[in-house]
Amino acid sequence: MSDFEAFDNFLEVDRLQGLMLQALVLPAPRDAQSFARWLAQADLDALDPQAMRLVPALFRKFGGTMGDDPRRARMQGVYRRAHLRNTLLLADGRRVLAALRDAGIEFLLFKGIAMVLKYQADLATRTMADVDILVRPADVPRAEEILFGAGWTALHGAGWKRSEIHSRDFTNAHRSGFDLHWHALLESRRADADDGLWQRAERFDWNGLEVRLMSPEDLLFTGIVNGMRERDPLNVHWIQDLACILAAKPAIAWPTLWKEAARRGLRETLFEALVLACRMCGDLVDGAVLQRWLEIDPEFRRALEASLATQGRLHGLRRVDREGDEDRPLDSVSAAYVRFFLGEDGGIEGIFLQWRHLPCLPELFDVADPAWLASLVSRHPKTGEGYLAVPPGQLRPRSNPAHREYSARIALGDGLREIVLAPGGKRTIEVEVENDSSCCWVELVGSDMPFKVSSHLRSEDGSMLRLDGPRAPLTNARRGYAAFVEPGRKLTRGLSIEAPAEPGKYVVQLDVVHENVTWFSERGCGFPRLSLVVRPTALRGRFALAGAGILHAVFDAETVVIDGWGGAYYTFDGHGTSAWRALLAGHEAQHIVAAFEEAGVFDHAGGTPVERFLSALQDAGLIEAIDGEARVVEPLRVEPRFGAREPVLVCHGDLRGLVSMHPMRQASERGWPHSKA
């Protein structure tokens, strides 16, 4: 028996979770045997959150062997929901990361997002609750400002202190999570604690966005410490990450891992975790690694012996007496915020802000003594941030701050000049709005005069047909904060464009509106105009996804499409999936319709089912017409195995409701996203 095996009985793992992990990690045929034992004993309605996290990976590995087992559909539903959650998390998180990069803020990715990007071939098999990043402590205020400006809300309420925690959680309208760390681990918060993590980080190309991931050793270490923090019940999903990393990089630098644990005083946590992994999953970690640590680190061994003896957990450990050998650019998406604290009389007792925003205070609040503010501005630097105590009576909030000047610019990305939609169709475009005036655009909670970007619909000759188009807010007012867009700030927003019911040619005029006050165009501002072509419903030509906010994946014959901007979740299968693949491969719509007509798979009259299906995709704003010749593609094949069932686009409602729906207890036998009646 090796020395480390004396630690075999330290930690107890839930029996069913142990079977799930063994099914994922052990070699064949022991993995399939573990899955069969789990399936025979598990009550799917009673799975706890930790066990639920492993279901998508189990379905991906064993779903094809389950035949017509009725539990297969329910497990597939959990898999689908994990795909939705991770897709939204990555899409929402990527926009924040791009803004951080543009602002010159360094960051490291770790935990779930690093695992999904580098070590998982399937987006759904490693579930995530949030996007975890590590930033330098000095960059936290600017990073928070970017998150607030992009519509994220902090979960820590008033009174929290950065010195007492290591991270701050944020959420958004999709219920996506974003965990902003200034220390990687709660257990070690020294100023230099994370120096090694930054030095060992690796660069990674995320489809054109260059990011940095923690090294494999540091991903293992931080994952283990986070996973071992709670012992009742013990969280062991980190063993799945351990197996994935070791499969991708068997030659882990174990001495580096041990030195990092020693530097942080976390050797016992690391040692216990890897002993547990060896006990549960056999040869996952080479026992010689643990034996070597005991041999070269007698100080650790003696301390561990004493600790275990005190706890009655020594279990006959044998002794080994062997000798051991400046300013950065502003980001391009965020509004600015000043936090204020009210006293009992309704006046402001204190504020937290970036010092550069001190001159903006007269536009945000009523200032009793301008000389007091002028003194503040002269005494403070233009960089950094902090709290200020406000003398009684000096500042009071405004419900509708005055505005003296209207000037703005709007820019369109990718040279967009024309949009083609079906009657009643819609598309979300990306616009960049710049405050080109000398004053702030301000919004406080309760104000009925926010600033938004919008559009008007005009006829081809310029006549106004619809004054009020869909709006996209430029600020996100929250209680206790003054939100504003300072002069020169640029913000990127998604703006929905909706086509009228009648085919024809139209003009979309972009505009900025100060609600209940004025349109900026009425004050002399000129903005870009787009040509809008509304084509008859008979589809022709090529189509593509209607922007970066449309996300999709195919599971066997089922396709899911997520409208990340509009907030809806769509599914279709069978012939719908065949038509979808053909459309995105470059086939023209009329040729897709003709191929199904020629195959004669439908018994229909009054238009073809495939044409109706493609029109539904366009009307939902999921695809858009594009110019250019058809690409050379493989012949389109209509698969007879789908029979005569017509393709139907099914909308499952808003993403927020779907994300909050329990994928087992609230789902029907068909599996999530189908709810119980």
* DSSP 8-state symbol, 188: B
Please check whether residue 121 lies inside any domain of the structure: yes
Q: Are residues 436 and 555 in the same domain?
A: no
Question: How many C-beta atoms surround the C-beta of residue 582 within 10 A?
Answer: 23
- Among 276, 310, 344, where does a domain finish? 310
Q: Are residues 170 and 25 in the same domain?
A: yes
Please check whether residue 665 lies inside any domain of the structure: no
* DSSP 8-state symbol, 325: -
Domain of residue 107 covers: 3-310
Please check whether residue 325 lies inside any domain of the structure: no
pLDDT at 556: 77
Look at phi and psi of residue 621 and say left if phi exceeds 0, alpha if psi is from -120 to 50, else beta: left
Please check whether residue 331 lies inside any domain of the structure: no
Of 150-159, 516-525, 664-673, give the lowest mean pLDDT range: 150-159
Please check whether residue 432 lies inside any domain of the structure: yes
State pTM to two decimals.
0.68
Question: How many C-beta atoms surround the C-beta of residue 501 within 10 A?
Answer: 7
Q: Is the pLDDT of residue 385 over 70?
A: yes
CB 452 within 8 A of CB 468: no
Strands 481-485 and 490-498: unpaired
Q: Are residues 514 and 566 in the same domain?
A: no
| CATH number for the domain that contains residue 469 | 2.60.40.10
Q: Are residues 553 and 518 in the same domain?
A: no
Residues 416-430 have pLDDT tens digits of 888 877 677 777 788
Please check whether residue 250 lies inside any domain of the structure: yes
Arithmetic mean of pLDDT, 552-565: 86
- Residue 41's Cβ-count burial label (10 Å; 0-12, 13-18, 19+) is exposed
Q: Are residues 71 and 216 in the same domain?
A: yes
Residues 235-265 have pLDDT tens digits of 788 999 999 999 987 789 999 999 999 999 9
| CATH number for the domain that contains residue 264 | 3.30.460.40
Please check whether residue 564 lies inside any domain of the structure: yes
pLDDT at 422: 67
Q: Where are the alpha helices (DSSP H) in 231-337?
A: 238-248, 254-263, 267-281, 287-296, 298-310
Please check whether residue 321 lies inside any domain of the structure: no
Question: How many C-beta atoms surround the C-beta of residue 246 within 10 A?
Answer: 19
pLDDT at 232: 66
Q: What gap in Å lies between CA 673 and CA 81, rounded to an integer?
A: 7
Q: Is the pLDDT of residue 431 over 80?
A: yes
Residues 296-339 have pLDDT tens digits of 888 888 777 666 555 544 433 333 333 333 333 334 446 788 88
Q: Are residues 549 and 520 in the same domain?
A: no
pLDDT at 8: 45
Q: Are residues 174 and 127 in the same domain?
A: yes
CB 100 within 8 A of CB 93: no
Q: What gap in Å lies between CA 670 and CA 672, rounded to an integer?
A: 7
Residues 436-465 have pLDDT tens digits of 999 999 987 777 889 999 999 999 999 999
Q: What gap in Å lies between CA 185 and CA 130, rounded to an integer?
A: 16
Distance set, CA 116 to CA 121, 128, 493 (Å): 8, 9, 27
Q: What gap in Å lies between CA 275 and CA 273, rounded to an integer?
A: 5
Residues 585-614 have pLDDT tens digits of 889 898 888 788 777 787 654 447 898 899
Q: Are residues 274 and 373 in the same domain?
A: no
| Residue of 567, 550, 572 whose CA lies nearest to 654 | 567
Q: Are residues 341 and 273 in the same domain?
A: no
Arithmetic mean of pLDDT, 497-505: 90
Residues 65-112 have pLDDT tens digits of 999 999 999 999 999 999 989 998 999 999 999 999 999 999 999 999
pLDDT at 605: 42
Q: Are residues 416 and 364 in the same domain?
A: no
Percent of the chain with pLDDT over 70: 89
Residues 102-131 have pLDDT tens digits of 999 999 999 999 999 999 888 899 999 899
Alpha carbon distance, N-terminus to C-terminus of the chain: 57
CB 618 within 8 A of CB 421: yes
- Among 377, 397, 417, where does a domain finish? 397
Q: Give me the number of domains the chain comprises.
A: 4
Arithmetic mean of pLDDT, 204-208: 93
Element (H, E) at 583: helix 575-584
- Among 534, 567, 589, where does a domain finish? 534
pLDDT at 535: 74
Question: How many C-beta atoms surround the C-beta of residue 592 within 10 A?
Answer: 26
Q: Are residues 93 and 191 in the same domain?
A: yes
Q: Are residues 19 and 133 in the same domain?
A: yes
